[in-house]
């Protein structure tokens, strides 16, 4: 697993160790690669922690070998950073993905490769409903790098170097920790800050719609994505995960229902034209029937997402 | 111009030197880069020939500079070779394109970059009619590399590093010289060999449809693509050129009409299942109304393509 010290990587690593098996095979070794030392499964004899750069071909050559059965490729710099630091984004998001595929090819074990892509591969003039077959028209460098990596994964799959699966994640929320610079950061802040007793400012009007998924279902989907039989995928390896489409106003209402009016009163609204402009490019509606037919699941609604956060990340509060 | 020693590069170079101007500016210097020394415009003081690799960043840094106004990026290894030599195709078709864009960005002159892409970016389950907005679903490594380069060009354009234009060329025919290993090679062989007094074997049934363009109109389109005002391109920088959709049987009939029955009798038919399988993946019908609205033109019919070949490449025969 690359990016194993991150938000989703840490949770996925713990899930894999707890399950002890993946697609009917036991998890004998879990290699956690990240520039930061991954802490999941510390002391577990099955875990090998590798600290290093996913864009370092020598390191990848040592890390991926003939025993590698499944690769979860999560390492990335996220959208705001890839936009601000173009070369860095290209190196990690594009070169890293490409070099990892080359390492898999060299290893010869034809591993399943689960790649976390993003709905940022879409943009511009979109159809009313986005499906798995909607053209990739990224409007950011991050989205461009993810789209290129998707294409490379498809080609390596076609050539028989890997057995690739691309999961396009909605905005994963609630992300614990500090607010970050992502334009979509308020999708976590609107729940996280009020529950921490802190006020939060939402930079878009309540009508703005988002496409969200809890970390629980993001991790469940990564596991399910790895377990999908290749024959079920057909001509396309890329799947939009079943998120919840919810307006920001409904998010605040869900918070009030789940956590009470006192908590919800900590949400305030002040429009930020820069964020609003980005939000205006987000697709409106999604058709994820292919994902559902493949057995992939998402949250019932935003209330469930708020509850999942409280259970998983704020157990002392309950 | 990269790939300036090639089939289209040589013709484009001669056209630019003959015109002496591009988009109202005089052609003061024409830099011809290729791994093979380009011969177009030999002795012309405006020509600088650079022999080297388009995937060599130092060479690109020396070659692209603040005076660079237009870049024609033609260097590539073609589909058969990119499929057989994966690393080579990745290096030249993907890295070369990316490094060239980086060199343009470093030069700071925001050049117009005209990139020759291919209908190989399409494949798999295609709609009945392919348009500029059809999703990129390449089924070859060559098509994958072209699709990635298109995405990178769009991102560099969005960021203001270059002013990019992607022209997706149909199969350019008639290509003079020896038969090559391309699956679509018979689209040239069916005219070239009989006119040279040699028999040719067509490996697909007469009903198979192809999408073709003469080198004349390919070069005219490259020039027109460079001259398109950026405001006319709208949200997408990629244009499918107006080819001629013609069955292989009609190609043979056109040859007979233009060159006579004796020449056409040198065409014989023997199905090759491998080529037929590739041909079965070629799109059937095209809607190139966007290209036409932008003023891009193609051949009237296959008869005109045969005549253009005889005039341009076999003048001693006429
Ligand atoms: N969280 C979301 O909302 C979301 C949405 C869509 C897609 N994704 C994708 O899912 C994946 C995981 O997301 P996340 O939220 O856990 O991100 P994260 O930022 O929390 O984790 C990414 C990890 O990658 C590591 N990393 C960065 N550069 C690296 C390098 N050069 N070599 C090795 N490791 C490196 C970081 O140290 C970090 O631990 C990413 O690919 C992301 O693009 C996430
Ligand atoms: N001819 C067609 O039918 C057709 C169709 C679709 C797209 N295209 C594209 O149009 C462009 C030109 O096509 P063409 O038919 O003239 O091809 P060509 O093979 O005749 O010319 C390509 C040139 O690129 C040069 N080249 C290869 N590797 C290089 C490197 N590392 N550095 C510098 N130069 C290098 C070759 O020496 C050659 O002169 C190519 O990008 C091709 O993919 C052509």
A144/B136 touch (CB, cutoff 8 Å), yes or no: no
Looking at the DSSP bridge assignments, the partners of residue B165 are B114
Q: What is the pLDDT along chain A (318 residues), one digit of tens a residue?
A: 999 999 999 999 999 999 999 999 999 999 999 999 999 999 999 999 999 999 999 999 999 999 999 999 999 998 889 999 999 999 999 999 999 999 999 999 999 999 999 999 999 889 999 999 999 999 999 999 999 999 999 999 999 999 999 999 999 999 999 887 778 899 999 999 999 999 999 999 999 999 999 999 999 999 999 999 999 998 899 999 999 999 999 999 999 999 999 999 999 999 999 889 888 878 878 999 999 999 999 999 999 999 999 999 997 765
With beta carbons under 8 A apart, name residues in chain A contacting B141. Answer: 155, 159
Gap from CA of B9 to ligand 2 centroid (Å):
8
Residue A70 to residue A48: CA distance in whole angstroms: 15
A40-57 residues labelled b (16+ CB within 10 A) or e (exposed): bbeeeeebebbeebbbbe
Closest-CA distance of chain A to residue B293, Å = 19
- Are the beta carbons of A137 and A152 closer than 8 angstroms? no
Instruction: Determine phi and psi for B201, rounding to 5 degrees.
Output: -110, 125
**Chain A residue with minimal CA distance to B131?**
A135
The total of other beta-carbon atoms located within 10 Å of residue B227's CB is 15
Tokens matching residue A308: 């999942």
pLDDT of residue B80: 86
Comparing CA positions, the residue from A93, A168, A100 lying closest to residue B155 is A93
Beta strands (DSSP E) in chain B are 21-22, 25-26, 30-34, 47-51, 70-73, 112-118, 129-130, 163-169, 171-172, 200-202, 209-213, 238-240, 244-247, 267-269, 285-286
Residue A143 CB-density burial (10 A; 0-12 exposed, 13-18 middle, 19+ buried): buried
Atom of ligand 1 nearest to the CA of A9: 16
Residue B214 to residue B243: CA distance in whole angstroms: 9
Residue B263 to residue B199: CA distance in whole angstroms: 9
For the residues B215-241, what does the mean pLDDT come to? Answer: 96
Higher pLDDT, B179 or A222: A222
pLDDT of residue A317: 61
B235/A125 touch (CB, cutoff 8 Å), yes or no: yes
pLDDT of residue A182: 77
Enumerate residues 6+ apart whose C-beta is below 8 A from B266: B193, B194, B197, B198, B199, B200
Q: Is the CB of B169 under 6 A from ligand 2?
A: yes
- Are the beta carbons of B257 and B177 closer than 8 angstroms? no
pLDDT of residue A315: 72
User: What confidence tier does B318 reach under pLDDT thresholds 50, 70, 90?
Assistant: low
Tokens matching residue A275: 């964020």
Closest-CA distance of chain B to residue A195, Å = 39
Q: Is the CB of A169 under 6 A from ligand 1?
A: yes
With beta carbons under 8 A apart, name residues in chain A contacting B152. Answer: 144, 148
CA atoms within 13 A on the CB side of A121: 30
CA separation, residue A293 to residues A233, A240, A288, A290 (Å): 11, 12, 9, 5
What 3 state SS string does A274-303 have?
Answer: HHHHHHCCCCCEECCHHHHHCCCCCCCCHH
Among the partner-chain residues A133, A138, A152, the one whose CB lies closest to the CB of B135 is: A133
Atom of ligand 2 nearest to the CA of B92: 31
DSSP labels for A126-168? Answer: --SEE-TTS-----SHHHHHHHHHHHHHHHHHHTTS-EEEEEE
- What ipTM does this complex have? 0.96
Give the pLDDT confidence of B254-293 residue by residue, as tens digits. 999 999 999 999 999 999 998 898 888 788 789 999 999 9
pLDDT of residue A162: 98
Q: Is the CB of A239 under 6 A from ligand 1?
A: no
Tokens matching residue A59: 């390191």
Give the pLDDT confidence of B92-133 residue by residue, as tens digits. 999 999 999 999 999 999 999 999 999 999 998 899 999 999
pTM for the whole structure? 0.97
Question: Is A309 part of the annotated catalytic residue set?
Answer: no
pLDDT of residue B108: 96
Helix (H, G, I), strand (E, B) or coil at A222: helix
Comparing CA positions, the residue from A73, A142, A145 lying closest to residue A103 is A73
Question: Does position B182 have pLDDT exceeding 90, yes or no?
Answer: no
Enumerate residues 6+ apart whose C-beta is below 8 A from A24: none
Tokens matching residue A266: 């900590």
Looking at the DSSP bridge assignments, the partners of residue B73 are B2, B115
Q: Where are the alpha helices (DSSP H) in B159-271?
A: 186-195, 215-227, 248-259, 261-264
pLDDT of residue B284: 77
CA separation, residue A152 to residues A146, B128, B149, B173, B318 (Å): 10, 26, 12, 29, 48
Comparing CA positions, the residue from A171, A73, A168 lying closest to residue A115 is A73
B151/A152 touch (CB, cutoff 8 Å), yes or no: no
Q: Is the CB of B40 under 6 A from ligand 2?
A: no
pLDDT of residue A318: 53
pLDDT of residue B179: 84
Closest-CA distance of chain A to residue B241, Å = 19
Residue A142 CB-density burial (10 A; 0-12 exposed, 13-18 middle, 19+ buried): buried
Q: Is the CB of A77 under 6 A from ligand 1?
A: yes
- Are the beta carbons of A169 and A119 closer than 8 angstroms? yes
Among the partner-chain residues A90, A134, A139, the one whose CB lies closest to the CB of B158 is: A139
Domains of chain B: 7-313 (3.40.50.720)
């Amino acid at each position: 697993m690359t990016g194993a010290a991150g938000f989703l990587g840490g949770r996925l690593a713990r899930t894999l160790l707890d399950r002890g098996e993946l697609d009917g095979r036991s998890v004998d070794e879990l290699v956690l690669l990240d520039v930061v030392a991954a802490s999941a499964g510390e002391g577990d004899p099955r875990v090998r922690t590798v600290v290093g750069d996913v864009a370092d071909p020598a390191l990848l050559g040592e890390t991926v070998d003939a025993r590698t059965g499944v690769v979860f490729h999560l390492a990335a710099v996220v959208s705001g950073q890839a936009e601000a630091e173009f070369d860095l984004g290209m190196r990690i998001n594009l070169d890293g993905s490409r070099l990892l595929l080359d390492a898999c090819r060299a290893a010869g074990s034809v591993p399943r490769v689960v790649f976390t892509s993003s709905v940022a591969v879409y943009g511009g003039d979109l159809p009313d409903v986005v499906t798995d077959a909607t053209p990739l028209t990224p409007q950011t460098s991050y989205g461009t790098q993810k789209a290129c990596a998707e294409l490379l994964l498809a080609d390596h799959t076609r050539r028989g170097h890997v057995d690739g699966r691309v999961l396009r994640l909605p905005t994963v929320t609630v992300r614990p920790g500090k607010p970050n610079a992502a334009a979509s950061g308020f999708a976590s802040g609107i729940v996280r800050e009020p529950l921490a007793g802190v006020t939060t400012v939402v930079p878009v009007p309540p009508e703005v719609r988002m496409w969200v998924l809890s970390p629980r279902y993001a991790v469940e989907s990564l596991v399910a994505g790895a377990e999908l039989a290749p024959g079920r995928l057909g001509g396309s390896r890329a799947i939009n995960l079943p998120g919840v489409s919810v307006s920001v106003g409904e998010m605040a209402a869900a918070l009030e229902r789940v956590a009470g009016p006192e908590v919800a009163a900590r949400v305030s609204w002040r429009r930020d034209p820069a964020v609003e402009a980005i939000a205006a490019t987000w697709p409106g509606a999604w058709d994820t029937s292919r994902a559902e037919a493949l057995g992939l699941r998402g949250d019932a609604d935003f209330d469930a997402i708020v509850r999942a956060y409280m259970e998983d990340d704020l157990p002392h509060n309950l």
